Structure 1
């Protein structure tokens, strides 16, 4: 799945889970401000597994620093769609967000802030705004805009950052699900990548679900960037827009019968 499509999928999943507007799930209800900010943050989190891609959104977001991080991660994880696209990665990214949330620092004007969460928030907002083309300028403009968002959250609602690990977990899971919908699939159980039997591989339908290389998929979207993927993205974009408008009260929708 393409980077922008991963991002919009993450945003759609967030509003579905945290909003109580009609036609959302409301599994973990949050204030409207958290739903709105979280949709952008989760869009960024949905890009995290592609930190293993030298030509991905993250690699192009911060110049030499992010390109180097992508190169190191790609090598350490075995390449694109290897270690960073597994259940282990979901656990690692989520625990990393939890650990960062414990780091606090004293800064001018703001006083004591959750510094680790703030830095993570900064990165995720920058990744999301680049993938969704909200920011079309250079690196300085991209990160300055992200810093303004982070400063606003820290000033007006610093307690909102308690949901950041959930946002990361949702984003990474949605990324894996998105890639599983394409023909490439993902190695969910990495570093253990069990291979199917010859009989399984010889069965046309089953061989698409559990491939010879051990990757797993439900390839209803076909190849990455297919027309079906674009149609899905358009639908998710419309749903996200509706849910945000309904959550903030800008769109009044009657109760679901």
Structure 2
């Protein structure tokens, strides 16, 4: 799945889980402000597994810094669609976000802040605005805009950062699901990548589901960037916008 589509699916998933409007799951209802901010943040979190791809949107969002991080992630995880596209990555990203939230620092004006969560929020907002093409301009404008958003959160509602691990978990899970339903598939159980038994491979259609290299796929979208993917993400965009508008009371929903 393409980067922008991963971001859209992350935002839609956050709306489905946290909004209390009709046609949403409402599994973890949050205030409208959290639904709105969380949609942006989860859109960025849905790009995190592609840190292993040095040409991905996330790697091109911060010049040499993000490119360097992406290069390191690619090498340590075994390359694109390896370690960072597995269930282990879901645990790692979620646990890492929780640990980051424990790092606090004293800064001028604000005093003691959750520095780790603030920096992660900065990155995720920047990643999502780049992927969704929300801001115009180069990297400087991108990161300054994200920094303004973080400063506003710290000044007005620092409690918003409490749901950050949940946002990251949802974003990463949705990313894996997005790649799972393309022909490339993912190594869901990495580093264990069992190959299908010969008897299973002989079942019609199973070679596309359980690949010879151990990858799993339910390729209903076909190749990444297919027309089916565009149609799906158009629907997800409409759904996310509806959920945000309904949460904000624009459509008369609570």
Is it true that 1:99 corresponds to 2:99 in the alignment? yes
Q: Deviations over 1:218-255 (max 9, x none)?
A: 110000000000000000000000000000001125x9
Q: Alpha-carbon deviation of 1:184?
A: 0.3
Q: Deviations over 1:107-131 (max 9, x none)?
A: 1111111100000000000000000
Is it true that 1:231 corresponds to 2:201 in the alignment? no
Aligned length: 254
Q: Alpha-carbon deviation of 1:206?
A: 1.6
Please, which runs of 5 or more residues in structure 2 have no aligned partner?
A: none
Matching residue of 1:153: 153
Q: Which moved more, 1:223-232 or 1:196-205?
A: 196-205
Q: Alpha-carbon deviation of 1:213?
A: 0.9
The alignment partner of 1:217 has SS state of: coil
Q: Deviations over 1:186-235 (max 9, x none)?
A: 00110010000112222232222111111011110000000000000000
The alignment partner of 2:205 has SS state of: helix
**For 2:136 and 2:184, how far apart are their aligned partners in 1?**
30
Matching residue of 1:55: 55
**For 2:131 and 2:158, how far apart are their aligned partners in 1?**
25
Q: Alpha-carbon deviation of 1:160?
A: 1.1
Matching residue of 2:173: 173
Output the aligned Cα RMSD.
0.9
**For 2:75 and 2:113, how far apart are their aligned partners in 1?**
34
Matching residue of 2:138: 138
Matching residue of 2:195: 195
**For 1:183 and 1:203, how far apart are their aligned partners in 2?**
18
Matching residue of 1:67: 67
Q: Alpha-carbon deviation of 1:33?
A: 0.4
Runs of 4+ in 1 over 3 A off after TM superposition: none
The alignment partner of 1:106 has SS state of: strand
**For 1:28 and 1:127, how far apart are their aligned partners in 2?**
24
Q: Alpha-carbon deviation of 1:62?
A: 0.6
The alignment partner of 1:59 has SS state of: helix
Matching residue of 1:121: 121
Q: Alpha-carbon deviation of 1:58?
A: 1.2
Mapping 1:6-85, distance limit 5 Å: 6-85=6-85
Q: Which moved more, 1:161-170 or 1:200-209?
A: 200-209
Please, which runs of 5 or more residues in structure 1 have no aligned partner?
A: none
TM-score where L is the length of structure 2: 0.98
Q: Deviations over 1:113-162 (max 9, x none)?
A: 11000000000000000000012311100000000111111111001100
**For 1:204 and 1:83, how far apart are their aligned partners in 2?**
29
The alignment partner of 1:112 has SS state of: strand
TM-score where L is the length of structure 1: 0.97
**For 1:116 and 1:68, how far apart are their aligned partners in 2?**
20
